[in-house]
Structure 1
Amino acid sequence: MIIKPVLPIKYVFNEIKVSLLVVLLIVLVTDIPVIFFSHHYTEIPLTIPTTLGIAISILISFKVNQSYDRWWEARKIWGAIVNDSRTLVMQLKMYTETDCPMIKTMAHRQIAWCYSLGQSLRGQDPYDNLKGLISEEELKKLQSQNNVPLGILDLQTDSLKELYDEGKLDKFSRLQLEETMERLTASMGKCERIKNTVFPTTYRKGLHLAIYLFVIFLSLTEPLNLSIFIEVPVLVILSMVFFFLEKAAFRLQDPFENRPTDTPVTSISRTIDINIKQLIGETNLPKPIEPEDFYIM
């Protein structure tokens, strides 16, 4: 997640450098016939690029809104994961005996689930950061699972059943804990839905084509019939605004791709790690995730 209001110029340039290179080539190519065959050159009315520019602005505005909705939904889901993870441990402390060893086991599993879910959504190894949180025996059981976070939740439900069968939970307490587990499962499903729902690529390609056409038409209008040393910077700057907004929307639409614009699932998981360990009385706490330059993961 980007945390600074001003982005580094290098980051901005790297995001749109390919598109700007294409724009530069387009401008140079369209200017060649104007320079060498000016007597056959017919100027394009300014209303054509103006209308196209308005259409592009509307399309980019729509895409930015839709992309931000996806990103914000992901952030809200992880906010719910924070609340439900804390709730699960507090419920265990409230409904079971203070010295019940299952509290610590399930608390550590919940921390592991958060780490594993975040890494799985980003396409990373879901077993990273699990050492010391889950027993070796349970890690071996998880090896047979295609969905590791779901496997961890399954271990949690088995522990709840064990507590109930041993009489350490009454029916009301079990129902309350089951509701919390249900919300955690639903949150995982919502994240997977966002991850697996692809934003139509044809929409982006059509928008890029429209921006390139806008540059071509604008370069052939009378107001832009300037010296090439003035025309090129003007068109590059105009197109840069469109391309950067489009690229920003493109990054936001996929909040689990291990990029600076991601939902900060690693940082959130570390916060859950610290909070839960404090709830169960542990003092050897990990440090919060530090920002990397202008963003935090």
Structure 2
Amino acid sequence: MVQYNPKDWITFIFKFHKSDTFRQLLPMMFLIGIYSGAICYFEIHYFKLGETSPIKNISIMHTTVGFVLSLLLAYRTNTAYDRWWEGRKLWGSLVNNSRNLALKLTSILEHENDKNYFRKLIPSYASVLSKHLSNEEVSKMLFEGLDLEIDQTKHKPNQIAKMLFSKVNDLYKSNKITGDQLIIINSEIQSFTEVCGACERIKNTPIPYSYSAFIKKFIFFYIMTLPFSFVFSLGYYVIPVVVFIFYVLASLELIAEEIEDPFGGDENDLPTAKIASNIKKHVEEIL
């Protein structure tokens, strides 16, 4: 995730970060500039169209559908941001639940071996979940006094949750915790699985293909028809104008594509690995 100062306007305007859409769209902007110049040349010099040409009236279509396009893009970016923000809230709740579980266990448990087990296993859930959501392989994780081996063929976070439930159940059977304490601890561990399920719902349910494809086609045909009518009022200045309009519209779509899956490896995705590292730090401090 990109860290920045929102008040530093100079950096925003004149610095192009590697995640900036300008870099990604530059080849397409170059081609659209050539296309706009070709349309301008043919209309002015080859066909020699005048102000009375009906092609000039195409601008009426742009005025009409431009408003519709702006609404679609606004809805698209808002929907993508909602997915990103929901993912951040879920990981925030995972941080709080991990702390709460550690706080309760450090007050309930008396044996250092039991505390050490949870000190290692609770942060492991966040770490494994981060890799699970980003489709990374989870290798065998070894800790002092704890052998945690992940089966790559099975659901990885569920394996950690199962170990947590099993350990808590063993504590109850050995009379180290009471029935009431078992219920309290179980509810905290259950919240881990609920966070995992909600994150998987976001990741595995992308924006419907037909909706995303329609917006891309809409932008493409809107841009491709702009030079036909703008030539009469702008001449060859139509080239930078059309390129700029394409940059604005296409950038909104690219930004939405990037943040709609907040658990990937893009520059603006959630720093789940860093959050997992903070959970490890806080749990070790508590336990």
Match for residue 122 of structure 1 among 134, 155, 167: 134
Counterpart residue identity of residue 190, structure 1: A
- In structure 2, relative to structure 1, the CA distance for the partners of 1:213 and 1:133 (3 Å cut) is farther
- In structure 2, relative to structure 1, the CA distance for the partners of 1:133 and 1:145 (3 Å cut) is farther
User: In the alignment, which residue of structure 2 is the partner of 1:279?
Assistant: 286
Q: Which ranges in structure 1 are unaligned for 5 or more consecutive residues?
A: 281-297
Is contact 2:80-2:259 (8 Å) kept? yes
TM-score, with normalisation over the residues of structure 1?
A: 0.85
- How far is 1:144 from its partner? 6.1
SS state at 2:263 partner: coil
SS state at 1:226 partner: helix
Give the structure with the larger helix fraction.
2
- How far is 1:19 from its partner? 3.9
- How far is 1:66 from its partner? 0.5
- Bigger mean CA offset, 66-75 vs 45-54: 45-54
Counterpart residue identity of residue 177, structure 2: L
- How far is 1:272 from its partner? 0.6
- In structure 2, relative to structure 1, the CA distance for the partners of 1:21 and 1:254 (3 Å cut) is farther
Q: Which ranges in structure 2 are unaligned for 5 or more consecutive residues?
A: 7-11
Deviations 1:62-116 (A, max 9, x none): 001101110000000000000001111111111221x331121122111111111
- How far is 1:32 from its partner? 4.5
Aligned length: 274
Percent of matched pairs sharing the same residue: 23
Counterpart residue identity of residue 175, structure 2: G
Match for residue 89 of structure 1 among 97, 102, 113: 102
1:146-165 → structure 2 map (5 Å cutoff): 146-165=154-173
Deviations 1:227-261 (A, max 9, x none): 32x21111111111111111111111110111111
User: In the alignment, which residue of structure 1 is the partner of 2:143?
Assistant: 132
| Alignment pair present for 1:64 and 2:71 | no
Is contact 2:230-2:238 (8 Å) kept? no
- In structure 2, relative to structure 1, the CA distance for the partners of 1:15 and 1:144 (3 Å cut) is closer
| Alignment pair present for 1:184 and 2:192 | yes
1:1-297 → structure 2 map (5 Å cutoff): 1-4=1-4, 5=6, 6=12, 8-11=15-18, 12=20, 13-34=22-43, 35-39=45-49, 42-45=54-57, 46-97=59-110, 99-127=111-139, 130-132=141-143, 135-136=146-147, 138-139=148-149, 142-143=150-151, 145-222=153-230, 225-228=233-236, 230-280=237-287
Distance 1:134 1:42 in 2: 81
Distance 1:266 1:133 in 2: 22
